[in-house]
Amino acid sequence: MTVIAQLSDVHVRPHGVLYQDAVDSNLMFSAAIDALNRIRPEPDLVVISGDLTDEGTEDEYQKLREMLAGLKRPFVVLPGNHDDRANLRAAFPEHAWLPDKGALSFALDVGELRLVALDTSVPGLHHGELDAETLAWLDTELIEHRDQTVVIVMHHPPFLTGIPYLDLYGLRNADAFAAVLARHFNVDRILAGHVHRSMQTRLGNVPVFTCPSTTTQIALRVEADAQPASFLEPPAYMLHRWTGRSKSAVSHLCYVGHFAGPFPFA
């Protein structure tokens, strides 16, 4: 069995500073770390799929490191549109899989799986894009690991959400990404963040899941003139479990918090 836990959009701030002047994102991230530490059986890996910090500053990455020191399982991080590649790379020098320059895409084995992390960030902008070099590298990875089950992690999801103010900042070249995937048959699922909501769809034949934020959740407003809004809904993470009976995982949405129960029935 292989288990990957996914957090996303944690938006760490400097000590004492609130996210959007309204929410203690650090406190909520700390609660999520505590929740992950209680999972049994323990995850093989924790993936944080972007927007690790809110402004990409050195102070925020230092706070992120301090908080992740409390996580009891191995973890990997990838950038989102609120991150800074240079500061992220400098904050995790021991993460040898992070490239020395350019896009912070990488791949590694997790049990019998191949995890491929794609850097969709565009420095200085909020939309996502996969450059030609990254797409070519992905194609090569999928060829070289054709006999392994592959899970792809990225920040910007490769589909239109139907929420107008989110889709302005989506992945601009999802079609080019889909064209690469269409040549391969070993990708089990795509995991993304960015949208601060749980969503599920398909890109071609590949299931796509987005992970909620550990801070605020973005409002489901699909009207053409909808204005951006968020709610302080329960924070959550995703738990993806490959049991060995199938090459496909079961993905679970898990809320962070303390709730009534357990009750002696199911």
Q: Is residue 262 part of a domain?
A: no
Q: What is the CATH number of the domain that holds 136?
A: 3.60.21.10
Asked whether residue 265 is assigned to any structural domain, the reply reads no
Residue 199, domain extent:
2-255
> Stretch 178-193: mean pLDDT, rounded?
97
Q: Is residue 100 in a domain?
A: yes
Q: Give pLDDT tens digits for 132-165.
A: 999 999 999 999 999 999 999 999 999 999 999 9
Task: Return the pLDDT at 247.
Answer: 78
Report the pLDDT value the prediction gives residue 246, as an integer from 0 to 100: 72
Q: Per the domain annotation, does 261 fall within a domain?
A: no
- Residue 24: inside a domain: yes
The count of domains in the chain is 1
Q: Specify if 266 maps to a domain.
A: no
Report the predicted TM-score, pTM, of the whole model to 2 decimal places: 0.97
> Chain-wide mean pLDDT for the chain?
97
pLDDT for 22-48, tens place per residue?
A: 999 999 999 999 999 999 999 999 999
* Domain presence at residue 264: no
Half-sphere exposure of 36 (CA within 13 A, CB side): 31
Note whether residue 65 is domain-resident. yes
